[in-house]
Amino acid sequence: MGKAKGKQRQDKYYHLAKEQGYRSRAAFKLLQLDARFRFLPTARAVLDLCAAPGGWVQVAVNHAPVGAFVVGVDLVPIRPIRGAHSLTEDITTSKCRSAVRKLMDSKGVAAFDVVLHDGSPNVGGAWAQEATTQSALVIDAVRLATMFLAPKGAFITKVLRKRKIKRQTPFYCLLIQRSQQKSRLQSSGSVRICLQN
């Protein structure tokens, strides 16, 4: 079964996003995660990987402290969001890593307190192919998180899980980086977020 399109996508969260000025219904997934884990209110620097059209970036700007350094990265350009920076880059490339580092250096930022990843491959089609490509993106996001996350920082990623009816269900897990071993990420819990009517 393919992804819902057009009117089928216009559920409660689609309308709420329109009402509240969010660019995507995905914004409510991050709002639910933050309501549960409270990682944004103390985040002075947030990196959002695969961020277009920018719903999560909007949530990060609204819920992180005023003046926080918020960066969204995507293959496609993100329309400007007040209080955020954006990079048009492929997160699987070293060019992207260099661009993020350059922007951090220009602002005197040493690490991100929160790294977010809501990436989905830009391909329609077979579930297995989409899930495999999405898993590869998660690995690239973990690599970037390992590189850029501050000690005790939070990394949030989307992982697709297959349901009985063969549709993908986004599944988000929260990982916290260990403070004593900066290069290791330790899972501190996971949560499944489904936006339902």
Ligand X SMILES: C[S@@+](CC[C@H](N)C(=O)[O-])C[C@H]1O[C@@H](n2cnc3c(N)ncnc32)[C@H](O)[C@@H]1O
Catalytic site positions: 158
Q: How far is the CB of 9 from ligand X (least distance, A)?
A: 12
- Choose, by CB under 6 A, the member of 54, 69, 86, 104 that binds ligand X: 54
Please state the φ and ψ torsions of residue 44, each to the nearest 5 degrees.
-90, -15
Among 118, 148, 153, 185, interactor with ligand X by CB under 6 A = 118
Window 31 to 50, contacts with ligand X (CB under 6 A):
50
C-alpha 68/C-alpha 12 separation (Å) is 30
Beta strands in the chain (DSSP E): 45-49, 69-74, 84-88, 112-117, 149-162, 168-177, 185-191
| 8 A C-beta contact, residue 60 and residue 116 | yes
Within a 13 Å sphere around the CA of 178, how many CA atoms are in the beta-carbon half?
Answer: 8
Please report whether residue 76 would count as binding ligand X according to CB under 6 A. Answer: yes
Distance CA 92, CA 117 (A): 13
Q: Which is nearer to ligand X, 119 or 153 (CB)?
A: 119
Q: Which of 91, 109, 154, 160 binds ligand X (CB under 6 A)?
A: 91
26 makes contact with ligand X (CB under 6 A): yes
Query: Which chain residues interact with ligand X by CB under 6 A?
Result: 23-24, 26-27, 50-56, 74-76, 90-92, 118-122, 137
